[in-house]
Amino acid sequence: MKHIGWCLDRIQDVMGSIPKEVISEGDKEKANRILDEVQKYADTLVQIIRNHDFRNRLHQLENTQIEGIKLQAREVEELFKDLEHMLYWLDLYIKELREMILNRPEQWYRKRDLLVHTIDEKFGGERGELRKVFQITLHTQEELQRIVTSEEHLAELLK
């Protein structure tokens, strides 16, 4: 979960520097570069969440002894569904923003901050940080090396 939290944090950080508008060519290029980076984090999220062992690892949270982390079976399933939904939504969001850059730049300002807000709303805590569950490690170093293909992300995850 720590690694999922890292990806979600990085997406929020990267989106924080997205241009307020995409009228100029420079702003359009910057927005596309940022969306490329967000896509890389989304790809890493997919690799972690859709890994065949992830659901089993998630169920380990039902029996954890860590205060404030223990989840009921229904909460585990709900979290899994929320993460799957986030992946689907993230893909659509990136595609829509790219389409806006090309065809509807005047509507950009309405959508550009939605991703950060959605991550915070769905997975954030009372003070804006990600929930405690995103602070525990479910995957071993060997598992991450097997499932994460981005060398850059893998290096960051293994710090």
CA distances for 153 relative to 3, 68, 156, angstroms? 10, 28, 5
Domain count within the chain: 1
Q: What domain range includes position 135? A: 2-151
What pLDDT, in 10s, does the model give residues 123-138?
876 555 566 677 767 7
Decide if 158 is inside a domain.
Answer: no
Q: Counting beta carbons within 10 angstroms of the beta carbon of residue 68, is it exposed (0 to 12), middle (13 to 18) or buried (19 or more)? A: exposed
Decide if 159 is inside a domain.
Answer: no
pLDDT category of residue 113 using cuts at 50, 70 and 90: confident
d(CA 25, CA 44): 29
What pLDDT, in 10s, does the model give residues 41-80?
999 999 999 988 887 877 777 776 666 666 666 676 788 8
Dihedral sign for Cα 52, 74, 118, 156, please.
Answer: negative
Collapsed DSSP state (helix, strand, coil) of residue 20: coil
Decide if 157 is inside a domain.
Answer: no
Torsion of CA 126, 129, 130, 136, to 10 degrees: -110
Model pTM?
0.82
Decide if 90 is inside a domain.
Answer: yes
Q: Count other Cβ atoms within 10 Å, centred on residue 146.
A: 13
Q: What is the pLDDT of residue 153?
A: 92
Decide if 55 is inside a domain.
Answer: yes
Decide if 156 is inside a domain.
Answer: no
DSSP assignment string, 101-143: HHH-GGGHHHHTTHHHHHHHHHHB-TTSSBPGGGGS--S-HHH
d(CA 39, CA 22): 19
Closest CA to 119 of 127, 128, 110, 111: 128
